Amino acid sequence: MASAAATARGPRYAPPDPTLPKPWRGLIDGNTGYLYFWNPETKAVQYDRPTAPPPSSPPAQQPPERPRNSDPAESQAQAGASRTQNAAPADDRARNDHLNDHFERHTEAVGSHAQNVPFTEQNTRSNPSSQPCSAAGVYPAQNVFSEAASGDRTSPEAYRAKHEITIVGNEAPAPFMTFQSTGFPPEILREVQQAGFSAPTPIQAQSWPIALRNRDIVAVAKTGSGKTLGYLIPGFILLKRLQHNSRDGPTVLVLSPTRELATQIQDEAKKFGRSSRISSVCLYGGAPKGPQLRDLERGADIVVATPGRLNDILEMRRVSLHQVSYLVLDEADRMLDMGFEPQIRKIVKQVQPKRQTLMFTATWPKEVRKIASDLLSNPVQVNIGNTDQLVANKSITQYVDVITPPEKSRRLDQILRSQEPGSKIIIFCSTKRMCDQLARNLARQYGASAIHGDKSQAERDSVLSEFRSGRCPILVATDVAARGLDIKDIRVVVNYDFPTGVEDYVHRIGRTGRAGATGVAYTFFCDQDSKYASDLVKILEGANQSVSQQLRDMVSRGGYGGRSRRWASSDDSYGGRGYDSGYTSRSTDNYNSGYGSQSGNASITATVAISLAILLASKPAFITAAATIKPVTIQAFMPATTINLVMVSAFMPGSIALLEAAIRAEQTMLAFVIEVGVLQAIATMKILGPRLLVSPTGKC
């Protein structure tokens, strides 16, 4: 313990947050990476985000009187810790250790002195009001977490309003606002305490009591909301009650879209389930089946899998799902995005109908609503925030730079130089080639590694391990890492290339600002991204972010709509298959912007035999001449509706051709040049303005 304390890292300031009421400052715990808040005037420290006082109330002259002794030494010796502690951020190592010690040994309750409300469990799915569950299902509140010293008793309605929780469905129980009120087994509460959690997140607080009543759940919440424990802990309690033989197959099945997310879920299952002796196995593509099959044969209470690999093993008849009574679809919208719906439906057919199903999703489009109605029975829907529109995490400060592609490298270097040494940064690119190239360029000076769909599972694991540990603080990634990765303390996200839609943009920047922390996101926005400008402005305004005049000007020039296919991804692991999705409509290289389809870029290749045409200065004429057949590429840079170019003739070499040329546009000049039998025509359309080039090479 002494050595652990000696190596503890002190807190540091979080990135500036203009939405915080003055004089509050955000701090990041050096050990856990969690965000908390400090008031330098009152010396108060708390985890809940502070709110500005009402305008009519006078400013506080002194800190409110505490029911307990405010001396830090005596406060640490007391079992009941106040929500706000009299501890200031340290400028020296001793104070840092004191603050870390304080937050490791004392946790706090959110909202109220909620009583231990015993939950009930359904004996059948059709009877939501059945008898209370047995002693195996509910546990008396343990004195693992200290009681809140605050006299504030928040009602369930006030708690839901504060955290923007809305419920759709009948008989939704009150949220668990404190860990004491959950009635979880003491060993699980100890694991939660050791992990540094002080209170349930909103999605946990509301989903736990519903799940413990054996109800189906649809949970719509942003990434980084704590949803993994939201479904794992009720699964642990169900396992302790049922006590199935794990060799006969799993009792809990969790489906996830990517191998990265699947391995992270299993890590959480191991960490929080070890004291309960709960076994788990992770099945994903891109790795040999042999070790995974051997783990299955030894028995597993929980199977975490990508749909592709699980289907492969089901077809081999090496696993049975007849015992599964608790099914979780994590990031359901992403699985549909990646085309996993057929595999999901095939898997669900092998699970018993009288199961409990929990679906967690970051968005709520019609495709997700459809599969939810098919697979879930009378679910309770829990929404965190606004589900009607795509919104970004308000804890993330977003900067959008309207620049040209050649300026990206210089701007990226400025951003990286402005960060603290060792800060974890994710840089997103749209192509694997650019991802590798950028990682090579940054590796020597900053320490960077690349991750994308062409990397083997061993390479991915190695890169992520170095990134998590801080040995390689910069991760350059395609969208394979845009969702599912839950790595603490990511300070900055850089969108080097804008993604194929604002949905992916929101999920990319969601890698920072997780679990209550703040973060910063930089985005390079170029002319070819202008079709997303209008939607991007809505996202920025919805998160109370400033919008540059350059971006607004781009919208006014016509950057409306243009939203790509909703289920689009330029590069993603297919879970069980290990290949990229190919759902992209973007060019393979953002640097090759050219004039783009918006300028009506028309390219026509033809083999023609054209007579020598001589246009008299005064009037059109019919001329007969000989010419040689040559392949000609015509590249027309002009709006698509302004010209119809018709090439007529297909004669053998040396033949005589009659060409009728009718030129009706005024101020039009045509010049024809013959070079060793090669016909090269250059036309300048003075009325229309664009260029038309005809040449054997097809180049300007």
Is the confidence at residue 172, as pLDDT, over 80?
A: yes
Q: Is 502 exposed, middle or buried (0-12, 13-18, 19+ CB in 10 A)?
A: buried
More confident residue, 36 or 284: 284
- Mean predicted confidence (pLDDT) in 241-246: 91
How do residues 644-668 score in pLDDT, each as one tens digit?
333 333 333 333 333 344 333 333 3
| Four-CA torsion 530, 587, 570, 220, nearest 10 degrees | 20
User: What's the pLDDT score for residue 129?
Assistant: 37
Helices (H), 69-185: 72-77, 93-105, 156-162
Q: How many angstroms separate the CA atoms of 282 and 304, rounded?
A: 5
How do residues 409-450 score in pLDDT, each as one tens digit?
999 999 999 999 889 999 999 999 999 999 999 998 999 999
Is the confidence at residue 331, as pLDDT, over 60?
A: yes
Q: Is the dihedral of CA 566, 570, 573, 578 positive or negative?
A: positive
User: What's the pLDDT score for residue 10?
Assistant: 66
User: What's the pLDDT score for residue 120?
Assistant: 35
Is the confidence at residue 522, as pLDDT, over 90?
A: yes
Q: How many angstroms separate the CA atoms of 563 and 532, rounded?
A: 6
Strands (E), 146-221: 165-168, 217-220
User: What's the pLDDT score for residue 33?
Assistant: 62
Is the confidence at residue 231, as pLDDT, over 70?
A: yes
Looking at residue 486, the DSSP 8-state letter turns out to be: -
Looking at residue 58, the DSSP 8-state letter turns out to be: P
Q: How many angstroms separate the CA atoms of 356 and 556, rounded?
A: 50
- Whole-model pTM: value is 0.51
Structural domains of the chain, ranges and CATH numbers in brackets:
2-105 (no CATH), 163-384 (3.40.50.300), 396-556 (3.40.50.300), 597-695 (no CATH)
Q: How many angstroms separate the CA atoms of 332 and 307, rounded?
A: 11
Are the C-beta atoms of 382 and 203 separated by less than 8 Å? yes
Is the confidence at residue 458, as pLDDT, over 70?
A: yes
| Four-CA torsion 497, 501, 504, 510, nearest 10 degrees | 80
User: What's the pLDDT score for residue 32?
Assistant: 58
Contact partners, residue 232, CB within 8 Å, separation at least 6: 265, 268, 269, 272, 273
509 — phi, psi (to 5°)? -70, -15
User: What's the pLDDT score for residue 205?
Assistant: 96
CA count, 13 A, side-chain hemisphere, 481: 33
Q: How many angstroms separate the CA atoms of 549 and 122, rounded?
A: 57
Are the C-beta atoms of 448 and 475 separated by less than 8 Å? yes
* Partner residues linked to 166 by β-bridges: 383
* Partner residues linked to 427 by β-bridges: 476, 494
Q: How many angstroms separate the CA atoms of 363 and 203, rounded?
A: 14
User: What's the pLDDT score for residue 303?
Assistant: 98
273 — phi, psi (to 5°)? -105, 0
Is the confidence at residue 90, as pLDDT, over 50?
A: no
User: What's the pLDDT score for residue 541?
Assistant: 92
Is the confidence at residue 392, as pLDDT, over 60?
A: yes
477 pLDDT tier (thresholds 50, 70, 90): very high
Residue of 286, 231, 307, 257 lying closest to 482 (CA atoms): 257
The one-letter code for the residue type at 553 is: D
End-to-end CA distance of the chain: 72
Helices (H), 317-393: 332-337, 341-348, 366-375
Are the C-beta atoms of 584 and 500 separated by less than 8 Å? yes
Q: How many angstroms separate the CA atoms of 563 and 639, rounded?
A: 22
**Of 18-27, 436-445, 621-630, where does the model show the most confidence?**
436-445
How do residues 434-444 score in pLDDT, each as one tens digit?
999 999 999 98
- Mean predicted confidence (pLDDT) in 104-108: 34
Whole-Å CA distances, 50 to 37, 154, 162: 8, 15, 12
**Of 143-157, 467-481, 553-567, 615-629, where does the model show the most confidence?**
467-481
Rg (CA), the chain: 31
Helix (H) or strand (E) holding 264: helix 259-273
Q: How many angstroms separate the CA atoms of 145 and 575, rounded?
A: 39
